[in-house]
Structure 1
């Protein structure tokens, strides 16, 4: 299998050699020295790369590289990964997706006598489908102190383990703003909250295709109807005081993607309305929209109107146009008409229905709530 150095030479240098070999007479005066001829963005997907290669030669060629895409290769040793990061001190983006990095990172450190070098320039790292363990990921976090974007999709995580091995304390990374967690089998919001506590300044979170059944902590039992006001909160005076509200760990979250999760109740939608900074939401393909109390599937118009009416702070929904004041008033009126003949236990709480214009709602509608 080729090394990274060999793959770079084959892709970025052989083309130039072939071009000039075909010329009958040529005088070639390079404008840049060989070290600077390698672009600052390297894309080497699916090249069977399993190692870094000769370190000094690689450093000469790649010292100025800022973005590196090594997805779908054969890297499996952390010692090789750290060697690559070491020789690219300006690296801002690294994609290691679909390399099998399930090996123990501490063993690699012992073997290569690693000094624990950090990489402060690295702002975005992609580790999708790498099978990286939580122990290895915690170690990686210590080496990338300024990282802002992390991709951990499709790593078969059903629990979140971000507790420091040495001090038994939860890791906190204030620099992280964006996290992609698509396709992991995590099913409870209490586990997701661990991500929010580890990344307290998180602004964007993608949980698409995770089998989340509820945003309540803990989730309600299947045979109970647990309304928004009945789950535990700090300061409530009647429940476990140590149990956080679902939004407490996400005070800065502005974008949330819940597409194709297993969210199935409107109570969960009402919980989303309590996230203090949430402005952009994607929630499609969930059981909540499959059928209503009459066993009929919600139309696209009904889904949008009911969501807008319940989520007063959302600015865009499912990637659509920005929600205007007229859109919101129409949606809130639609919600009141929609629930007028519904049983009381299916209606949203009163504050959802009369947030802005209760004085303008017909008496016949008011009397039903």
Structure 2
């Protein structure tokens, strides 16, 4: 009995300690040990598990791709423990934790030298000042940095770019930016960056984004979806700053005119565009919408994820000419295409629907006697329906009738033996005949 009471008291004491830990948060070391301990403890219970040997290396089996999202991590932990546990980690996801101090982030970076990917989404890094002493080091292996919904300042971003000279992909979505602030060094550039995600920010004019092209001169992919962007129009030099940009995604923005779409021609290297869910475009039928965009953008070879084939482009450009040729207000692109294709005739509204009814000669073949009559047949009928229609002509029930198709180009008869086969499948013409024999 005393033994059981002691165990209950110990459990209560541990739960109290753990509750206090929950309030304060955990170190990255604690989170790793909790998640990968082999003691069978639930990773979501937040119980501290002392480090123990797992094999000859003396380390927990931490994978190269380490996900510790929503683990209440607030600090790095003891550097020597972190180095032993995570030195082989290459990708680290710390989404939705409690990190607020850049010193802790640089501590873990220093202990994970091979880290290539770091996701800090949802950690509030709004008001932290980067310490100059920390910034004297570089982390050349980091390739991807995700700072979505961190409220990180532009001043901090410029300092971070110096620390990560090899960064090729940067995510700055959901940070509420209404402008792109200048760097203290006006000529600052980060030529390594190739991909930038800038979704759900509040910048309205593309001209305000021109500093991004100046800072990232080699940028190839720019994603700016679900944003307040309502105009693409700007001076030519703005587009020229994005001289290497090949792919632009401005889906679900607030663009209002075709002139905004026409501006995509001004990017020197742009070949791929995504312009889905833009309100004024959504009012146009899908096929027509795609044709109009293709016709306006001769530089785009991939639209909304689908390649633009040469045949599709020709069809789109000719349809564009026909759409505007009778209108007084013609876009400039109309005159460019008119110079290529010349004056086109309006499309004739042809009805290619084939008439289902056909008139055939039906011949009743009996001994020593042939009776023939011209009969209108519906090719939608089945063979059994035709037999039923010919009962009065033959004077016998349909069950006593055998039908043969005599095609005009063949001396042979083709027996129509399948009752449920549709007559249209025989591809009859008015020069053919139906020969009827009685069983």
TM-score, with length taken from structure 1? 0.80
Q: Where do 5+ consecutive residues of structure 2 fail to align?
A: 1-24, 42-52, 348-439
Q: Where do 5+ consecutive residues of structure 1 fail to align?
A: 20-28, 218-231, 234-243, 291-296
* Contact 1:189–1:216 (Cα < 8 Å) also in 2: yes
Tell whether 2:331 aligns with 1:347: yes
Residue matched to 2:295: 309
Shift of 1:330: 0.6
* Contact 1:213–1:262 (Cα < 8 Å) also in 2: yes
1:173-184 matches, within 5 Å, as 173-184=190-201
Residue matched to 2:73: 49
Cα distance in 2 for partners of 1:31, 1:5 equals 19
1:1-369 matches, within 5 Å, as 1-13=25-37, 16-18=38-40, 33-35=57-59, 37-106=61-130, 109=131, 114=134, 116-163=136-183, 165=184, 168-217=185-234, 233=236, 244=237, 246-290=238-282, 297-320=283-306, 322-344=307-329, 346-354=330-338, 357-359=340-342, 361-362=343-344
1:53-89 deviation line (CA, Å, top 9, x unaligned): 1111111111111100000000011111111111111
Cα distance in 1 for partners of 2:31, 2:118 equals 17
* Contact 1:309–1:352 (Cα < 8 Å) also in 2: no
1:185-234 deviation line (CA, Å, top 9, x unaligned): 011111111101100000000010221121112xxxxxxxxxxxxxx55x
Cα distance in 2 for partners of 1:135, 1:127 equals 14
Q: For residues 48 and 312 of structure 1, do their structure 2 counterparts lie closer, same or farther at Cα, with a shift above 3 Å needed?
A: same
Comparing both structures, which one devotes a greater share of its residues to strand? Answer: 2
Shift of 1:37: 2.6
Cα distance in 1 for partners of 2:218, 2:315 equals 34
Q: Secondary structure at the match of 1:68?
A: strand
Cα distance in 1 for partners of 2:335, 2:242 equals 23
Q: For residues 33 and 279 of structure 1, do their structure 2 counterparts lie closer, same or farther at Cα, with a shift above 3 Å needed?
A: same
* Contact 2:322–2:344 (Cα < 8 Å) also in 1: no
1:161-193 deviation line (CA, Å, top 9, x unaligned): 141x2xx41421100000000000011111111
* Contact 2:321–2:334 (Cα < 8 Å) also in 1: no
1:114-163 deviation line (CA, Å, top 9, x unaligned): 36211000000000000101111111111000100000001000100141
Shift of 1:298: 0.8
TM-score, with length taken from structure 2? 0.67
Cα distance in 1 for partners of 2:179, 2:204 equals 9
Shift of 1:287: 3.2
Q: Report the aligned-residue RMSD.
A: 2.1
Q: Secondary structure at the match of 2:103?
A: helix
Q: How many residues align?
A: 312
